[in-house]
């Protein structure tokens, strides 16, 4: 009278996904059980297609369906400008603003000695090679505004500056639409420090 095997297996597989615990996995599994067959098939098809059709760009390590990716080959993008981000999803966050027209370099992570992630685990060599070879004017460091991202940005700045390229870091400060009451001390400090003439 134990639980049905296929259901147990599905719950196990769903629990491996990030942010999904035992209860959440059970809820999803029972939903999939109830859902029409075609919906379940569409989900599987979508998973398979992502694995089949999406790879990483050999230049910038962003996700792509053609190699090199659109950003690296498009004539309208400014190839003298490289924006460095940690993960492929960060690229879409920047593209949403609609006003960055340069290229990207995805590091595939950030330096994190605690998790055993050193410079060799990131796509830093690709970045250095691009700066060495090409006509790069500026590298914008858009790693996350946390300890690992900040350490990575400082590390990269040290490597890049001697190559004669302009190295900038995205601004940190109070987010637009928020209230000062809710800003933490470090953010407030960065906001004051980074103030600009009006």
Q: Which residues bind its own copies (CB under 8 A)?
A: 1, 3-7, 9-10, 12-14, 16-19, 24, 26-33, 37, 39-44, 46-54, 63-65, 70-71, 74, 87-89, 92, 95
**How would you label 31-50 residue by residue, b for 16+ Cβ within 10 Å and e otherwise?**
eeeeeeeeeeeeeeeeeeee
Q: How far is the CB of 174 from its own copies (least distance, A)?
A: 22
Cα-Cα-Cα-Cα torsion 141, 145, 146, 151, nearest 10 degrees, comes to: 20
Closer residue to its own copies in complex, CB, 41/194: 41
Q: How far is the CB of 74 from its own copies (least distance, A)?
A: 7
Specify the pairing of strand 102-106 against strand 55-56: unpaired
Closer residue to its own copies in complex, CB, 74/158: 74
Closer residue to its own copies in complex, CB, 63/159: 63
Q: How far is the CB of 93 from its own copies (least distance, A)?
A: 10
Q: How far is the CB of 89 from its own copies (least distance, A)?
A: 5
CB 38 within 8 A of CB 23: no
Closer residue to its own copies in complex, CB, 96/196: 96
Q: What token pair was written down for 58? A: 């050999």
Report how far residue 62's alpha carbon sits from residue 56's, in angstroms, rounded to the nearest whole number: 5
Most distant CA pair in the chain, distance: 73
Q: How far is the CB of 28 from its own copies (least distance, A)?
A: 6
Rounded to 5°, angle at Cα 70 from 78 and 48:
150
Closer residue to its own copies in complex, CB, 54/147: 54
Sequence-separated (6 or more) residues with CB below 8 Å from residue 10: 29, 32
């Amino acid at each position: 009278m134990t639980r049905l095997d296929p259901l147990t297996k599905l719950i196990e597989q769903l629990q491996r996904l990030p942010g999904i615990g035992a209860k959440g996995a059970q809820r999803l599994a029972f939903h999939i059980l109830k859902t029409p067959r075609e919906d379940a098939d569409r989900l599987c098809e979508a998973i398979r297609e992502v694995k089949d059709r999406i790879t990483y760009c050999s230049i910038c390590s962003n996700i792509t369906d053609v190699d090199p990716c659109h950003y690296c080959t498009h004539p309208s993008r400014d190839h003298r400008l490289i924006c460095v981000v940690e993960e492929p999803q960060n690229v879409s966050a920047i593209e949403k603003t609609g006003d960055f027209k340069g290229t990207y370099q995805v590091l595939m992570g950030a330096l994190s000695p605690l998790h055993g992630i050193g410079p060799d685990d990131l796509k830093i060599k690709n970045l250095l090679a691009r700066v060495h070879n090409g006509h790069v004017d500026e590298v914008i460091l858009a790693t996350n505004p946390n300890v690992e991202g900040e350490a990575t940005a400082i590390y990269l700045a040290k490597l890049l500056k001697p190559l004669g390229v302009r190295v900038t870091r995205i601004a940190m400060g109070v987010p637009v639409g928020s209230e000062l009451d809710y800003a933490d001390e470090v953010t407030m400090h960065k906001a004051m420090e980074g103030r600009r003439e009006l």
